[in-house]
Amino acid sequence: MGEKPKMEDWKALDRTVLAVAVEGYGQLWTAYIGSVPGKNHDKEWREVRANGSKLDKKLAELLFPSFRDSGLAYRE
């Protein structure tokens, strides 16, 4: 049996600004924000995941309620 896929989601806050939420290890999740060229969000979100600025927990929970309600803890 394979491992359950990790949760990942992104939202465009503007054409050139994405917020990204990702499940990490140890029942934790976190979210990032970053600027992108705005040409292909389906590809650009990965750059924000890798190099974005970490979001405050309250804002992350507002943007990603499915993560907030998932039972995972936010990585401070």
Give domain status of residue 38, yes or no.
yes
* Number of helical (H) and strand (E) elements in the chain, helices listed first: 3, 5
In the chain, how many domains are there? Answer: 1
Q: What is the pTM of this model?
A: 0.92
Per-residue pLDDT reduced to its tens digit, 1-52: 456 679 999 999 999 999 999 999 999 999 999 999 999 999 999 999 999 9
User: Alpha carbon of 37 to those of 10, 11, 33: distances in Å?
Assistant: 15, 15, 14
CB neighbours of residue 72 within 10 Å = 17
Q: What is the pLDDT of residue 64?
A: 98
Nearest to 7 by CA among 71, 24, 74: 24
Q: What is the pLDDT of residue 27?
A: 93
CB neighbours of residue 74 within 10 Å = 18
Q: What is the pLDDT of residue 76?
A: 87
Q: Domain range spanning residue 17?
A: 8-74
Give domain status of residue 2, yes or no.
no
Per-residue pLDDT reduced to its tens digit, 42-67: 999 999 999 999 999 999 999 999 99
